[in-house]
């Protein structure tokens, strides 16, 4: 091989080789996996190599390529108890077979099942990190019961922890996790894909999407399940006659995997069909950014979050936002500056927030939110932060 090809090969060789683990992965819907894929794409652009390993749920292939990334699926055990043991063994065997191919084992989730990345990485000579994605969920029961003690012991072997909100950072500390290993790294958003529309673009989008051209459109996006609380929002919208706004509530999201028969979303669709001038339900769409850009206001009614992707996306599109006071929201929304917040399931609080949004005639709330998200939560910035963390972890090994 000539000197020039050797030089070129060296220049494009990846600096970090990362194996990412997510319990759920496309084609299944998962906010954590969505963030994982977005981060992987930006890391790839920066010259790093990323693969994914996940659980082999029924009907999915063991190996495939998704959006250009190699994905390997590992089976978990059968039955209702200790299914994680077969999964952990499968992850170890796969890791061992690829032990010379990676430097970092990066888990998108800090659950009991995910915590195995700590001991596996130690055995294989890799560095590990886990990202907690959901408030009062990932770390629930940590140190309590046998499973909780195993969870804590495995997490002790992890090299770095990621908290995507200040609430989750406090949860890690309260659980006894070493504070110097906790990194506050929020979720990120693609500010190229998600950006504000002009009035002309909004009108054109509404025509294309068969949405009313002159009616106020209030958008909510999320999985149709109880945690996302969209059913409550729909009920409130109808009971209060759209809070006297004459607006259309547009709810978009996938059917929950906890609702395989579709009863939850089916009931919502029936309610919407009886109140079609006030509510419309759409299942998951690929071009969700077009709906953000066609809307006027965004509402997040969720009962629990980590740092909601949909709120970042809405703010990046310049929408004034209303969101419940749950994890991650207060990291993003400052009342009266870039949106408003309310206590979950507080219809009066929601009404007041909506009225305050409507009184913002100049549109300053949306503009301030868009600038804030663009400056602090862009995926490029997030990829740089992870790159620095990977560097610190691997350099600590080399220096040691």
The first and second tokens of residue 73, run together, are: 């699926």
Which range has the worst mean pLDDT, 28-32, 91-95, 221-225?
28-32
**DSSP code of residue 133:** -
Per-residue three-class SS string for 312-343: HHHHHCCCCEEEECCCCHHHHCCECCCEEEEC
Sheet holding 127-132, edge to edge: 63-66, 69-74, 49-55, 17-22, 104-108, 127-132, 160-163, 182-184
In contact, 307 and 328? CB cutoff 8 Å: yes
What proportions of the chain, in percent to the nearest 5, are helix, strand and coil? Answer: 45, 20, 40
Q: pTM of the prediction?
A: 0.89
* 353 in Cβ contact with 340 (< 8 Å): yes
pLDDT digits (tens, 9 = 90+) for 186-200: 999 999 999 999 999
Closest by alpha carbon to 292, among 203, 194, 363, 375?
Answer: 194
Please compute the mean of the pLDDT values over residues 242-249 and round it to a whole number. 96
The whole-number average pLDDT for the span 118-146 is 93
Strand partners, 128: 105
Residue that is written with structure tokens 């071009």 in the block: 287
| Mean pLDDT, rounded, for 229-241 | 97
Average pLDDT over residues 291-310: 96
pLDDT cut 90: percent of the chain above it? 83
- Distance between the two ends of the chain, CA-based, in angstroms? 36
Alpha-carbon gap, residue 29 to 44, rounded angstroms = 22
**Residue 14's pLDDT band (boundaries 50, 70, 90)?**
low
Q: Is the pLDDT of residue 162 over 70?
A: yes
HSE of 157, CA atoms in CB hemisphere, 13 A: 19
Distance between CA atoms of residues 168 and 307, nearest Å: 9
**Residue 10: is its pLDDT beyond 70?**
no
Question: What pLDDT score does 396 carry?
Answer: 64
Beta bridge partners of 108: 131
Mean pLDDT, the chain, integer: 92
Is residue 1's pLDDT more than 80?
no
Question: pLDDT, tens digit, for every residue of 249-260?
Answer: 999 999 998 888
Asked if pLDDT for residue 151 goes beyond 70, the answer is yes
pLDDT score at 29: 82
Segment 376-394 shows an average pLDDT of: 94
Q: What pLDDT is attached to residue 363? A: 82
| Residue 309, pLDDT above cutoff 60 | yes
Ordered by where they begin, the domains of the chain are 14-188+379-399 (3.40.50.2000), 199-376 (3.40.50.2000)
Mean pLDDT computed over 290-301: 98
CA dist 113 and 22 (Å) reads: 10
**Chain-centre distance of CA 178, in angstroms?**
25
Structure tokens at 262: 């579709």
State how far the Cα of 128 lies from the Cα of 381, in Å rounded to an integer.
21
How far is the C-alpha of 70 from the C-alpha of 51, rounded, in Å?
5
């Amino acid at each position: 091989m000539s000197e020039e090809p050797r030089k070129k090969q060296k220049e494009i060789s990846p600096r970090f080789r990362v194996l990412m683990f997510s319990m759920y992965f496309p084609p299944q819907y998962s906010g954590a996996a969505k963030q994982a894929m977005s981060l992987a794409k930006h890391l790839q652009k920066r010259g790093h190599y990323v693969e994914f390993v996940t659980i082999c749920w029924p009907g999915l292939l063991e190996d495939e390529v998704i959006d250009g990334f190699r994905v390997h699926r590992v089976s978990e055990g059968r039955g209702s108890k200790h299914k994680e043991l077969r999964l952990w063994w499968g992850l170890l065997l796969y890791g061992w077979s690829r032990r010379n191919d990676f430097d970092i084992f990066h888990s998108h989730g800090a659950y009991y099942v995910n915590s195995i990345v700590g001991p596996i990485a130690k055995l294989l000579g890799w560095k590990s990190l886990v990202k907690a994605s959901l408030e009062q969920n990932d770390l629930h029961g940590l140190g309590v019961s046998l499973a909780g003690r195993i969870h804590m012991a495995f997490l002790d072997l992890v090299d770095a922890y990621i908290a995507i909100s200040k609430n989750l950072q406090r949860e890690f500390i309260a659980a006894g996790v070493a504070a110097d290993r906790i990194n506050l790294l929020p979720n990120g958003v693609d500010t190229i894909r998600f950006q504000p529309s002009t009035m002309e673009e909004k009108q054109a989008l509404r025509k294309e999407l068969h949405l009313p051209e002159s009616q106020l459109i209030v958008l909510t996006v999320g999985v149709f399940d109880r945690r996302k609380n969209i059913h409550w929002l729909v009920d409130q919208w109808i009971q209060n006659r759209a809070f006297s706004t004459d607006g259309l509530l547009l709810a978009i999201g996938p059917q929950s995997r906890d609702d395989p028969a579709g009863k939850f979303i089916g009931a919502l669709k029936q309610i919407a069909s009886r109140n079609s001038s006030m509510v419309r339900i759409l299942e998951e769409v690929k071009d969700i950014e077009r709906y953000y850009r066609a809307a006027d206001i965004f509402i997040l009614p969720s009962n629990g979050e980590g740092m909601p992707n949909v709120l970042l996306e809405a703010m990046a599109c310049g929408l004034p936002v209303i969101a419940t006071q749950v994890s991650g929201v207060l990291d993003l929304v400052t009342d009266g500056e870039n949106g408003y917040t309310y206590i979950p399931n507080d219809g009066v609080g929601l009404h007041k927030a909506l009225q305050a949004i409507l009184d913002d005639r100049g549109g300053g709330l949306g503009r301030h939110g868009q600038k804030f998200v663009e400056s602090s939560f862009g995926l490029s910035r997030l990829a740089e932060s992870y790159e620095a963390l990977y560097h610190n972890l691997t350099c600590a090994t080399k220096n040691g």
